[in-house]
Every structure is written in C-alpha cells, then in structure tokens.
A and B are shown apart, each in its own frame.
Chain A
C-alpha cells in the first residue's frame, strides 16, 4: 500500500475513503462485510476494486452513495466525495450528491434501467431531479448524451425500452443516465459482466474515454483481466479487506499477496492446456482426493487419454459403432425457428463438427450465435431441419426417440446454471441415485458404493450427500452436476457454459476437475463458452461460431496463434487477458 508516489502532483482527490467499515444487522447479530477499507481516487484516474462474490466490493461502492441499505451500519475515518462528507449528509443532501457528484453504473442494463420506461425518460430523470431544465431542454440533452456514449439514432433509441435494445446499446444508455450531470466520480459495478466479448470491449473503451476526459472512475469487478485494460491502480479485496493495493502493472505483474497470486493464476486465458489453475488442495476438495503433483498429472494426461480412447474404440467395435470413428460427428446441421410474425430465423446454418475420442472440441461464440442450439441438436433434444449427427460412427440424430433413449447414457450434459437443472426438493443423494439407476429410483437403499465413488471422483465430501442443491455453493453445485452427468458412464460430455456463473477461483477448480476427469476416463468434451480464455485453456480443437455458422475451426494452438477469419481476429483482440 505504500505507492503514494503514483498520486498525481497537487490534484485534489475526488474520493477519499479511510478505514471504512460496514456491518449488517440481522436480529441481534451484526455481520461485518467491509472491514477497514481505504483508498483515494483523483480526477482522470481509474481505481479497480477486484474481488470475488461476497468480498464486500459492491457494498463498499454503495456506501459511497449512502446506499448500503437500511440494516447497514457504516462508519469510517473519512468518507469524502469532493468536499462532501458522506457520513454527515442529511437524507436530502445525500439525494443531491447522488447523480450530481457520483454516478453509478450497474451490471446488466436490462434490469438496471426500469424495463417499463423508455431509456429516454430514465436518462431524463437525472436532469429532472437536479436541474430546472424544461422538458424540451431535457429531451434535447438526453439525445446529446446518447450521441456522446455512442448510441446511433438517438431520437429513435430514446423512445425504446431496455428490453428492446441490444446488450451494448442498453449498457451505453445506462452509462448515459449515470453521467447525465457530468459527475466528477463514476462508480461502475461490474459494468461489463453480462456482455459479450466484443461489446465488453466497446464499453471499456467508453469508460476509458470518460476517464481521459477527467472523470474519476471506480471500477468494481471480479475479473482481473477486464480491469487490467483501464485501471491505473488495483485494489484486491477479499473478506471485506483490501489485501493488496498498487499500480495496475505491479499488482498484475508482480503480485505480493498470496490471494492475488491465486486469483491471477486462476485466470485461464493464455494458460497451456493441462496446467492446473487452482492450488491442489482447494477448499472444497476433500484432502484424500487431492491428485498427485501437478507436473506428474500433466505428464500422464496425453498418454492416459489416448490409451483409454483406444480401449474404448476396441471395446465398442461391435453394435454398429465403428472403431476409430470420432466420438461425435455432425454434418451440415441446419435449424431454423419461426418468428412470431411468420418469417423464419435460421439459428444454426450448415454446421459441421468432429470431436475426436478423448479430446475437447471448444465451441466459441457470442450470445445468439447458435451455440446452445447446436448443443441441443448434438444431444438429440431438438431435431435438425437438415444434416446428421453420429456418435462413435453410429447414427444418432436420425434415430427415433424410442431407439435413442437406451443409448442416451453415452452422451451427458452439464449447463451454466446447475441449480435450475436440479429438482430443488431432491437431496444430492437422490439426484445421483436417480442418475445411477437410469431414472428408475431416487431411493438409495443399499448405500450404493457407486454413489460414494461418484462424489469422490468430483471431489465432494460424502457428508454433502444429504444436502439440497440450494444449500450448496456454486462450485459444489457444478460438481454435483458433473457427478450426475458422469453417473451413467458416458463417453461424451456436452459442457454448455459450465463455468460462466462461477467466481474465478471456483471456475479454476471446476476446469481443473474437468481436465482431470478427461484424463482419467478418456472422456470427449464438446466445450461451449463465450469466454475465449476458457476455451483456449480447455480445447484441443476450436470452432468459432457467428450468426449460426462456423466461421473458422482448427487445432487450438494454430487458431489462437494465427486466426484467419476477421471475426476470430476481432474476438481475440477484444478478449481481455493478463499482460
């Protein structure tokens, strides 16, 4: 924290926070969420507050606006915005501060702008509350603001609502509403988290421009890579404390604190395939399942997979499946849906894929590119309009559901949100028993040894078996989902955004687990993600999807080193990475 020389000359700080503490009362107990946090921020600079969920970063941000909540107790040695001491302001004065002195941009403008009101009115509200402009003047100013944040056709867009705008446009509109009064301080709380890579890039550029024009930006994020692009200084938060603070280059390049190092190591972008991202003894993993050292594991991985793949090929030679055929092959898949007005929308357009046994095929693309529909076609959950899918050389998509059902165990799936895919009333034991018995029973009579084995293989303690999904952490839930997918001993797993909802360090553990399972069991993965870093780390071959088509595919190393398609290049350039 001794980096005071980085402060610009005699610039007066816009934000000065010293020893901030925030506690929440519930009943008689008070939980401390922010515990002695301090930082300063000058005009034209950007401080990033980085931490995982529950670290207290958002509460810190909201305390600056006096919006920590009704049950919160906020104390600080200093909590000063410009010249105003936030702690001593009256309710009315606080309202004067919000919007005029500090702007707040939240995650996901779809719900952070009132979905029932036009974005124009939402933006104009800030002007209505703080200025004496007439409605006409306000509307002119709103359109100017929309132009400023890069929204084309402002008159038209101002009359639309958040749900009618694309993710990028509505996030820009949200920013416009926060900067309507030109506040010297802008707090952006996960401003790009719900956005696609290329859109995220544009929003970051916009924030950077505001910074250049003199706004002080307090950026809250869980993503070190995103933060690295625009932050001058980074403060790393965990458990309500700042464990490390300093110039961005130094924190990212030469982290001092153990937690920072772990966070940085957990970022998958640019990390070679097979290297573990999390420390071996991760908190959720039972000690006895901790694998051999990372180096050993890495050495074993290729041969193990190949061996098992060959064995599989040999074993499954009969029954119509061809030895040596790819685990999964899709040819010319087409799927279109009918719009409400009767026109047709082609969602998947001539998609061909080939997944070799024991390998991972990464499918990367932005939202709406057709990734998930492709997954559904591959899983045989949706019938293609044209094209075929074959599993292990045997027909799959052309089978009737009756013929396909006995074979379904060969291909499993895990999804982004495991909670939604579990029956909330079932315990982990019931979920897994159901999967182990092919859905015939949820009652675990003889304490299935397979169940303990299964929990063990995904690194979950047996004591969790009687919990319900709601009482598990995000990482534990995803492990249960993986265990469920593994129960019928599939050859192939379709992983649809399996780590997108997880914190970086938990994501690292889950990716490590998937990698380890592939090595041990010779599994083939179709790995779908919008995150290039994750896909690069996990995949042997990669296919890039745009508007339902595969624009480029090839071996992971070649594709990332030498992208041929302009879209891939754009995606790669926009993808945030460390250093």
Chain B
C-alpha cells in the first residue's frame, strides 16, 4: 500500500510540474503570436489604406470638399511627415505604435487614443451584451428543440435557419419599423440607457443565436445519445437532470470555441448597427475615418479591434480548457490498474 501511495503521489507531482511547464510555454507562444498579429495588422492597414484613392492631406485640411490651396496641402504634408518616403513613414509609424502612441486625428485634431476611448466602451457594451443574449437564446432554442417533440424540432430548425440567414442591416430596419414606428415601444435611435440598447442588441444577437442554436442542438442530440447519458438515466437521473448536468455542458464546448470568432463578427456587425441606430461607438468612428481618410484614426481603431480580438480568442481558449478538462490533461492517461 505504501508503494502504491508514493507512486500515486509521484504521479501527482510529475503532472503538476508538467502542467506548470506547459502553461509557461503556452503563455510565451500566445504573447509572441499576439505581437506578430498586431504587427501584421498594422502593416496591412498602413499600406492598404494608401490604395484608396485620395489625399490624406485633404483630410487634415477639412476633408475632400475643403478646396485647400496647394501651399496649404504641401505644408500639411510636411507637418505630418507625409512627404517622406513611404518606408520612412512606415518605420516611423511602427515606432510610434510600439510605444503605444496612436498619434493625432487628422480631422478632429485630438489624440487618437481619446477618440478610441470615447467609442470603445459603448461598442464593447453592445457586443458583449449581444453575445450574452445570443447564448441565452441559443441555449433556450436547443433545449426546446430537443425536448418538445417533433413540432418543436421543426419550428426551431426553421427559426434557427431564418435567424442565421438575416443580414444585420435588414433586421435592424425591420425591428425599428415594428417596435419603434409600429408599436412605439422602443426608441428608433439609440439613446443612453437600457431601452435604447434593446433593439441594437437584438439586431446583433438574433443572427448569432440562430447560428449557435444550430450548433448546440446538434451537440445536445449527440450527448443525449452518448453512453454516459444512458449511465446517468440508469442511475435514476431525470430528463431535466440529464440535460442540465450532462448534455448542456457537452453542447457548450463547440459553441464556446466559436464564440471568439463570433465576437469578431459582432464587432464588424457593430459598424452596421451603430450606423443604422445612429449609436456612437468604434464602428461609426471607423466608418467615418475611412470615408475621409483619417489614417491615424483608422490604424488606431483597427489596432484596438485586433487587440480586443486577440484577448477574446485567448479568453475563449481558457474558457475551453475550463469547460473541457480533457484539453488540460491530454498527454497523461492514468497509472496502472
């Protein structure tokens, strides 16, 4: 018995040390990957935005319609370093970004960091709420579809497909027509406070819920067919218990993995929704900046969005590991018997 005990203790110790090593390697890989992605995004945007016709100097002087004199344009170029060779500008830009300096907006003449901070909170609130609502809707749909018999299964399938297929801008318009113009329950333009959030959040959440719902229904059905649910039922577990304790957790795994990607799509959806509902936020800021070629704002917003996306991806990975212990201990497969 003592040799068994010490063997098991040794096994525990080895595992703990191994997992510490793995965690360290994982963090280093992640940080290096994030730095690479940020550099790649900055580079792509820096050169990409120059492919759009038009002169950034015009943005500095009040946009394409400002009819600035050639002297004024030349002065603006010199002031913002736009007359330098492209490579010099690029290295200069990288150097500034590396120190966390996003520069000054051409059109607004305020630091880009301020512009971003103004919009970031509102956009994050919108996307995070949308993700949460989409999850709730998807779980409800999946549970109902697998519980309520054949009619529920058919109805929810149709609902999911329709929801997943509607484009944001159309859904937003329809929701405004029905709930603001028709019933007058909710404001058509996003106002501060909860009522103003309902329609934008639903506009973003419904298509995602349709998509996640399809995914979850499939995996709930798989889990309900799995031998461990037979074991659970044979133990006397109720149908509700089988779903809540076993099936739902398995069903959540693929949905968690995809939530990182979903969050990215929500941010790009926010560009549309913020415009439709005239809601202040990063999406609208980005759209305006692209239209008037306000390069520092475009680069700044894209960098922040990329950073958020990286953080969310890492968070999903961690959530995956939390929800699925098999990812944590893949290599170890128990002692003897």
Contact = CB atoms under 8 A, between A and B. Distances in A.
Interface in B1-52: 1, 4-5, 8, 12, 18, 21-22
Q: How large is the interface on A (under 10, 10 to 19, 20 to 34, 35 or more residues)?
A: 35 or more
A129 interface: yes
B238 A95 contact: yes
Given A167-B337, A199-B337, A129 B236 contact: yes
B231 A163 contact: no
A98 B235 contact: yes
Interface string A87-112: 00000000111111011101110011
B227 interface: yes
Given A116-B249, A166-B333, A168-B337, A96 B5 contact: no
B316 to A, nearest CB: 17
B194 to A, nearest CB: 36
A340 B236 contact: no
Given A153-B8, A156-B12, A164 B332 contact: yes
A199 B22 CA distance: 32
A96 B337 contact: no
A170 B336 CA distance: 11
Contacts of B278: none
B230 interface: yes
A163 B326 contact: yes
Contact of B336 (A102, A114, A117, A166): A166
Contacts of A108: 227
Contact of B231 (A100, A113, A156, A161): A113
A111 B236 CA distance: 18
Given A111-B226, A341-B22, A160 B334 contact: yes
A114 B246 contact: yes
Contacts of A14: none
Nearest to A70: B149
Nearest to B241: A129
Majority secondary structure of chain B interface residues (helix, strand, loop or mixed): helix
Nearest to B18: A341
Interface string B311-337: 000000000000111100111111111
A116 B334 contact: no
A104 B230 contact: yes
A340 B22 contact: yes
Given A116-B250, A152-B4, A129 B228 contact: no
Contacts of A106: 227, 230-231
A341 B336 CA distance: 20
B5 A67 contact: no
Interface stretch (A171-179, A285-293, A352-360): A171-179
Given A115-B326, A156-B12, A202-B337, A104 B22 contact: no
Contacts of A156: 8, 12
A7 B244 CA distance: 44
* Highest count of chain A CB atoms <10 Å: which of B230, B233, B234, B246: B234
A130 interface: yes
Contacts of A113: 228, 231
A99 B232 CA distance: 9
Contacts of A112: 227-228, 230-231
Contacts of B326: 115-116, 161, 163
The size class of the interface chain B forms with chain A is 35 or more
Contacts of A339: 331
Contacts of A340: 18, 22, 330-331
A340 B327 CA distance: 13
Nearest to A101: B236
Contacts of A199: 337
A96 B237 CA distance: 9
A200 B290 CA distance: 69
Contact of A341 (B228, B231, B250, B331): B331
A125 B231 CA distance: 11
A115 B18 CA distance: 22
Nearest to B229: A114
Interface in A68-99: 95-99
Given A111-B226, A130-B236, A169 B231 contact: no
A485 interface: no
A100 B236 contact: yes
Given A98-B234, A125-B237, A111 B228 contact: yes
A98 B233 contact: yes
Given A104-B231, A125-B235, A172-B337, 8 more contacts: A62-B230, A106-B231, A115-B228, A116-B323, A170-B334, A177-B235, A340-B330, A341-B18
Interface of A: 62, 65, 67, 95-100, 102-104, 106-108, 111-117, 122, 125-126, 129-130, 152-153, 156, 160-161, 163-170, 172, 174, 177-178, 180, 199, 202, 339-342
